Amino acid sequence: MKRIGLIISVLAVGLAIGGYVFFNGERKTPVHYRTAAVERGPVISIVSATGTINPVVLVEVGTQVSGMIKALHVDFNSRVKAGETVAVIDPEPFKARREQAVSNLEVARSNVARSKADLAQRKRELERVQSLLPQQFVAQNDVDVALTSYQSAEAQLRVAEAQVKQATAALSAAEQELKYTVIRSPIDGIVVARNVEVGQTVAASFSTPNLFLIALDLTKMQVNTNVSESDIGGMTEGQAAVFTVDAYPGESFTGTIRQVRLAPINVQNVVTYNVVVGVDNTDLRLKPGMTANVSIIVAQNDKALKVPNAALRFRPPQAERGQPEVNGATASVVAGGSVLKTGEALTQKGVWKLTDNENLAQTPVQTGISDGVATEILSGGLTEGDMVVIGIEQSSGEERGSELPPGFGSKRRSRSR
pLDDT digits (tens, 9 = 90+) for 47-73: 899 999 999 999 999 999 999 999 999
Distance CA 220, CA 279 (A): 6
In what side-by-side order are the strands of the sheet with 85-89?
Answer: 182-184, 85-89, 67-72, 201-202
Asked if residue 88 has pLDDT above 50, the reply is yes
State residue 209's pLDDT score.
81
Asked if residue 414 has pLDDT above 60, the reply is no
Residue 30 has phi, psi (to 5 degrees) of -60, 145
Residue 343 has phi, psi (to 5 degrees) of 80, 0
Distance CA 224, CA 172 (A): 43
Instruction: Give whole-number Cα distances, 284 to 123, 173, 277, in Å.
Output: 79, 43, 17
Instruction: Give whole-number Cα distances, 185 to 9, 58, 74, 220, in Å.
Output: 112, 12, 10, 20
What's the pTM? 0.61
If you average pLDDT over every residue of the chain, what do you get?
A: 82
pLDDT tens profile 201-226: 998 876 778 899 999 989 999 999 99
pLDDT tens profile 365-381: 888 888 888 999 988 77
State residue 314's pLDDT score.
87
State residue 6's pLDDT score.
64
State residue 410's pLDDT score.
44
What topology does CATH give the domain 91-180? Answer: Helix Hairpins (1.10.287)
Asked if residue 325 has pLDDT above 80, the reply is no
Closest CA to 190 of 75, 64, 310, 273: 75
Closest CA to 45 of 276, 233, 279: 233
- Sign of the CA dihedral with 81 first, then 82, 84, and 87 last: positive
20 pLDDT band, cuts 50/70/90, is: low
Please give, one letter per residue, the 3-state secondary structure of the chain.
CHHHHHHHHHHHHHHHHHHHHHHHCCCCCCCEEEEEECEEEEEEEEEEEEEEEEECCEEEEECCCCEEEEEECCCCCCEECCCCEEEEECCHHHHHHHHHHHHHHHHHHHHHHHHHHHHHHHHHHHHHHHHHCCCCCCCHHHHHHHHHHHHHHHHHHHHHHHHHHHHHHHHHHHHHHHHHCEEECCCCEEEEEECCCCCCEECCCCCCCEEEEEECCCCEEEEEEEEECCCHHHCCCCCEEEEEECCCCCCCEEEEEEEEEEEEEEECCEEEEEEEEEEECCCCCCCCCCEEEEEEEEEEEEEEEEEEHHHHHCCCCCCCCCCCCCCCCCCEEEECCEEEECCCCCCCCEEEEECCCCCEEEEEEEEEEECCCEEEEEEECCCCCCEEEEEEECCHHHHHHCCCCCCCCCCCCCCCC
Neighbours of 148 (CB within 10 A): 12
Least confident range from 14-18, 93-97, 119-123, 148-152: namely 14-18
Distance CA 266, CA 284 (A): 33
Asked if residue 85 has pLDDT above 90, the reply is yes
State residue 18's pLDDT score.
63
Distance CA 396, CA 10 (A): 39
Distance CA 373, CA 25 (A): 42
C-beta contacts of 340-343 below 8 A and 24+ residues apart: 342/316
324 pLDDT band, cuts 50/70/90, is: very low
Residue 67 Rama label (left phi>0; alpha psi -120 to 50; beta): left
Cβ-contact 58, 216 below 8 angstroms? yes
The answer for residues whose C-beta is within 8 angstroms of residue 12's C-beta and 6 or more apart is none
